[in-house]
Chains A and B, each alone.
Chain A
Amino acid sequence: MSKTQLIVSSDSEINIEVACDQIGQAWHTTIDSLFKVVTLIRECLGKKGFKELQSELDRRGIMKASVFSMFKTIAQNPMIDVSIKDRLPPAYNALYYIAKIDDDTALKEVIESGGISRDTTIEEAKKIYSEIMGESKDEYESFKSKSEIIPLASMKVDRTLFKQNKAQIFSLIEQLNSLGVNIKINNELR
């Protein structure tokens, strides 16, 4: 508290130097704290009891399950590393969208090019995520499923004619069956 008061001098002017130092320090503390949480969760990833930990943090009011889930996503992405903390936004919700990018090459490029920085807001992070992952999504969605079964035709026959030609019709059906044409015969005709 006393440190915060120091940034405003006695004549109500901001002491720029002190303010920069203090805000900068707090800023670093924020990202450091975020990474401390990420590191701790990363240590627990894949261990038995991980879901129980999530429930227990929520039950004790320490961290909501939804927030834990976001930290889990950040922890799961090995690209979000403490070594590049100065290039990442100090906000877990923005980091969450960045961590959701699982195309490592694209993520590396966008970090190195400065597309992501300490100033990246959550909206910008969302946009970057959509842009990068959208390509992968489009690629998958362009896949059209083709059924292996092709409907050929539906057949109708006059009852009298059927009775007259029953043997021949069944023989033809057998021939079609042997060619791989699956014919469902009306029970009444059997």
Chain B
Amino acid sequence: MKKDEVIINHPFASHVLIHDGKYAAFGSEPNTDFVKIGKIESKKYSGVFSTHSKIDSNPESNSLLLKSIIDLSDPSLVCYFRLNSWQVKFIQKTIKSFNSTHITLFSDENGLQINFYDVLKLMPGARMNRSHETRMLNHLLNDRKVNPFKMTFNASSFMLLPPKTFDVGIGENHIGVFSDDELEEGYLLRDLELDLPVIHFFNDQLGQCISLALSASHLSLDPDTSQHETPLSELESDDL
């Protein structure tokens, strides 16, 4: 890829850094949690470009910035796994059809899983309304066990990934590294570290996985209302 093509081919980017035959394209709002790293043909260019113009920068600072991005893409990993192209496509289709704002990739004793949800619908304020629907879709991607982790991504940033097979590294630095070794391209997605008010467990009697959304009143206690938190020790045995 040539320098001009790098800038044109990344319409999602607010800025593109080019240095030493490599480039990093930084996602613009609302995808500032997304960076693409790749290679270009020539090593002679060095600069930071916005959509239309070159920004004042020098090769030393470009080199430092690129090094820090490359370091971010090469962290110690909590775990790694492969996402096949058809799984990436499936996730992207589901994000669209389910109107998900966020996805959470996680692993437990059942294997690698993904949750799709609209985070606004899981906010306690919204959930106080009884007619409000709280939906979350869970899908088992692979039953091969990997080290436990949980990472939440902006769904619209995940949509920027090409539908290819990726080696995914879950970094200890809270960055998901999606590598396409064939094209020598990498995509970094930052973990938004959202905690869902949902618990999952396997019920032996039913032989099924159960997901429970915690009661909204337990999530947000407003000191200005009559809500109060009762310590477990103060509860009568009948209450338990």
Chain B's nearest CB lies how many Å from the CB of A169?
Answer: 28
Which residues on the A side are within 8 Å of B80 (C-beta)? 45-46, 76
How many Å lie between the Cα of A104 and that of B78 in the bound state?
Answer: 21
Which residues on the B side are within 8 Å of A133 (C-beta)? 84
How many Å lie between the Cα of A23 and that of B173 in the bound state?
Answer: 49
Partner of A140, one of B79, B86, B96: B86
Which residues on the A side are within 8 Å of B181 (C-beta)? 65-66, 69, 72
A146 touches B97 (CB 8 A): yes
B84 touches A46 (CB 8 A): no
Which residues on the A side are within 8 Å of B78 (C-beta)? 46
Question: Number of residues in B with C-beta < 8 Å to the partner?
Answer: 31
How many Å lie between the Cα of A76 and that of B167 in the bound state?
Answer: 10
A136 touches B144 (CB 8 A): no
A50 touches B97 (CB 8 A): no
Chain B's nearest CB lies how many Å from the CB of A94?
Answer: 18
Tell whether A148 pairs with B99 under 8 Å between CB atoms, given A51-B73, A72-B181, A102-B142: yes
Chain A's nearest CB lies how many Å from the CB of B78?
Answer: 8
B86 touches A145 (CB 8 A): no
Which residues on the A side are within 8 Å of B167 (C-beta)? 72-73, 76
Q: Which of A47, A66, A69, A102 lies at the interface centre, i.e. has the most chain B CB atoms within 10 A of its CB?
A: A102
B86 touches A136 (CB 8 A): yes
Q: Which of A46, A49, A148 lies at the interface centre, i.e. has the most chain B CB atoms within 10 A of its CB?
A: A46
CB-defined interface of A43-63 with B at 8 Å, one 1/0 digit per residue? 001111111100000000000
B74 touches A51 (CB 8 A): yes
Tell whether A46 pairs with B86 under 8 Å between CB atoms, given A72-B181, A102-B144, A145-B94: no
Q: Does A118 contact B (CB under 8 A)?
A: no
Shortest Cβ distance from A138 into B: residue: B86
A137 touches B82 (CB 8 A): no
Main secondary structure of the interface of B (DSSP, over half): mixed
A145 touches B99 (CB 8 A): no
Q: Which parts of B189-208 form the interface with A (CB within 8 Å)?
A: none
Q: Does B176 contact A (CB under 8 A)?
A: no
Which residues on the A side are within 8 Å of B74 (C-beta)? 48-52
B98 touches A102 (CB 8 A): no
Q: Does B169 contact A (CB under 8 A)?
A: yes
A140 touches B142 (CB 8 A): no
Chain A's nearest CB lies how many Å from the CB of B59?
Answer: 20
Tell whether A104 pairs with B169 under 8 Å between CB atoms, given A48-B74, A72-B181: no
B144 touches A104 (CB 8 A): yes
Shortest Cβ distance from A52 into B: residue: B74
Which residues on the A side are within 8 Å of B169 (C-beta)? 46
B84 touches A136 (CB 8 A): yes
CB-defined interface of A137-153 with B at 8 Å, one 1/0 digit per residue? 10011010111100000
14 pairs across A/B with beta carbons < 8 Å? Answer: A46-B78, A46-B80, A51-B70, A51-B74, A65-B184, A66-B181, A72-B181, A76-B80, A102-B84, A136-B86, A140-B89, A140-B90, A146-B97, A148-B97
Residues of A within 8 A of B (CB): 45-52, 65-66, 69, 72-73, 76, 100, 102, 104, 133, 136-137, 140-141, 143, 145-148
